Structure 1
Amino acid sequence: MTDRSTWTFTAAAETFAAAAEGWLLRDPVRNTAALTVLRSLRSGQFSENPLMGWFTEGGSVEGAMIHTAPYPLLLAVPLAAIPSLVSELIALGRSLSGVNGPVEQAEAFARAWWEPERGRRSDRLYRLGTPVPPSVPGAARTAVAADMPRAVQWIREFEVEADVEVSADPTPVVAARINRNELVWWEDGGRPVALACVSTPIAGMSRVGPVYTPPEFRGRGYGSAVTYAVTRKALDEGAAEVLLFADLANPRSNSIYQALGYEPVADYARISFR
């Protein structure tokens, strides 16, 4: 790196967007997480002291990061920018529960951070190729405000099962997703049996997740059905790319997504410090 390599930080989403959104939009597939979090920040969804930063080299933006506590630090940066980012965050006294990003970047950050790694989750990013509809009884229904209690309960159950180590109340996020028509049920016999969310398109990109089927309804294809339903919804709303992350420790979900037409793009890691 040269002397002209710098990090700039802000708590203002619009300031960050003015500087870094254009760079993130160059690759909306690999920057899907940062772009969807940025949209939530711009809508005022997060309120716990957010921190956003962009890395400039030779006068142009070459990377970005977003931290919305209690969630892990989100990386979209080149490897060469990791040491300076770690130094800057330590100087700022920033407390991190973990780091999330492409495997190489996440591991490089964890090695340089002052707290030891306590655990990790390995994910694979998939993008939709040719969609393959499953044959499953039932039908999709977009969630409405009256569905809030059940939706919050199921999202909490998903977070516990997926080992999402955050203390945030999911209610505001669930409410926002219902308001944006992003949460869909799969119903069989008039009762909800699976749930999935999908982001409204950003630069032609939508991302599926979370997907959850309660234990008592598993083994009947409902997860496949609701995943395909939100995939079809994203395509119908204009998405050119439909993406999702899958836990590599769950081979069943990975096989399900591939059977629906999703193809691997890259591997990511969420590394916990506490």
Structure 2
Amino acid sequence: MDLEFFADPAAFLDAAGDLLAAEPVLGTVIGSVTERTKRELAAGIDSWAEVGAPFDRWWMVVRDEAGKAVSTAMRTAPFHPNPVFALPMADEAAVALAIALHERGESLGGVNGALPTVSVIAAETARLAGGDVTVHHHTRLWEATDVTVPPAPPGRLRRATEEDAPLVLHWFTAFHVEADVQAGREPDPTGGEHNTMDSALVRIREGVEWLWESPAGEIVHLTGRSVPAYGVSRIGPVFTPREHRGHGLASHVVGELTRAGLEAGDRMCLFTDQANPTSNKIYEALGYRPVVEMANLLIG
């Protein structure tokens, strides 16, 4: 079993495209992040340059004895501790990845993705570099093949415009803080995606950020629906400010965007934090069903 590393997202997609296409829901994060990075670089935008990470981002393909790509991982997360994201792979490959990063002198403080692979990577990293493995949070990947859309609250759904960019950027940050609070964790303002005004504008121009506007014209909710990658679109983030919660905004908007995606021929998925029973219950009621259990592990 061999590991092949890539610095260029286009070269990685050439190598891993068939694998990602075969398991597009499972590979939704790697597929969508990599395709977005490819689009940004083609447009002359390199958000990684602003991250200040002590290593170059990379993508990796695991190849079997016949040279076929059988799994992937990437380290492109622009937030501390810049965790690796890994798809399911043989324990042998997971151990080899941890060893390869250690030999490269690349300190690994976290790993995210499918269980039990991430546990193997984290345990081997801790053995090599010292430290303990702790669970930051457990996540669950869900898919909806049909959806029950709740009645619409007063107001209307519309795409975010460039004029909305400051609010969208603010709510991206607020989403991660509130997610920690709702799950009973200490809020970490540095966690989650690293967003800038440029990256928010990219998402708005792609048409993936949606807002709910009240009859009075006040914006009261945000939901994202990603550009499809390998036929899969992912819902998120989903954010309602505290003062506007309890009116069914998230349920209706997520349901409506899921319905639109399914009608367009996309497969629809989303992630939930297992420590947040409210969101798990809401999405299950809409028609989402569990696909795989994942975890975000810290090493140190």
**Normalization by structure 1: what TM-score?**
0.92
Deviation at 1:184, TM superposition (A): 0.2
Unaligned 5+ runs, structure 2: 50-55, 181-187
Does residue 8 of the first structure (1) align with residue 4 of the second (2)?
yes
Which residue of structure 2 lines up, in the alignment, with residue 162 of structure 1?
Answer: 179
2:133 aligned residue: 117
Residue 75, structure 1, aligned to residue 91, structure 2 = no
- Which range is displaced more, 159-168 or 72-81? 159-168
- TM-score of the superposed pair, with normalisation by structure 2: 0.84
1:130 and 2:146 are equivalent in the alignment: yes
Q: In terms of mean alpha carbon deviation, does 138-147 or 161-170 score higher?
A: 161-170
RMSD (Å), alpha carbons: 1.8
Map 1:84-233 onto structure 2 (within 5 A): 84-114=96-126, 115-137=131-153, 138-163=155-180, 165-166=191-192, 168-189=194-215, 190-233=217-260
- 8 Å CA contact 2:146, 2:262 repeated in 1: no
Question: Does the 8 Å CA contact 1:40/1:46 hold for their aligned counterparts?
Answer: no
The change in CA–CA distance for 1:220 and 1:166 in structure 2 (over 3 A counts) is: closer
Distance 1:95 1:60 in 2: 29
Check the 8 A contact 2:135/2:295 in 1, yes or no: no
Instruction: Give the superposition deviation at 1:61.
Output: 1.0
CA distance 1:22–1:180, change in 2 (3 Å): same
Q: Please show how residues 11-90 of structure 1 align to structure 2 within 5 Å.
A: 11-43=7-39, 44=41, 46-48=47-49, 49-58=56-65, 59-68=67-76, 69-70=78-79, 71-80=82-91, 81-90=93-102
Number of aligned residue pairs: give it: 269
What amino acid is the match of 1:150? L
Query: How far 1:130 moved relative to its partner?
Result: 2.1
State the Cα distance separating 1:267 from its structure 2 match. 0.9
2:145 and 2:264 map into 1 onto residues whose CA distance is: 17
Compared with structure 1, are the counterparts of its residues 168 and 130 closer, same or farther at alpha carbon in structure 2 (3 Å cutoff)?
Answer: closer
Shift of 1:78: 1.0
- Shift of the 167–269 alpha-carbon distance from structure 1 to 2, 3 Å rule, reads closer
Which stretch of the first structure deviates more once superposed, 37-46 or 145-154? 37-46
Instruction: Report how far residue 217 of structure 1 moved.
Output: 0.7
- The question of whether the paired residues in 2 share the 8 Å contact of 1:20 and 1:64 is answered with yes
Distance 2:62 2:13 in 1: 13
Unaligned runs of 5+ in 1: none
Q: Which amino acid aligns with 1:109?
A: I
How far did residue 236 of structure 1 move? 4.1
Shift of 1:147: 0.4
CA shift, 1:230, in A, is 2.1
Name the amino acid aligned to 2:70: E
Q: Deviations 1:187-236 (Å, cap 9, x if unpaired)?
A: 22221111110112222211101111111111111111221232133234
1:245 corresponds to which of 242, 257, 271: 271
Question: Following TM superposition, by how much is the alpha carbon of 1:166 offset from its aligned partner in structure 2, in angstroms?
Answer: 4.8
**How far apart in 2 are the matches of 1:120 and 1:79?**
23
Contact 2:59 2:75 in 1 (8 A): yes
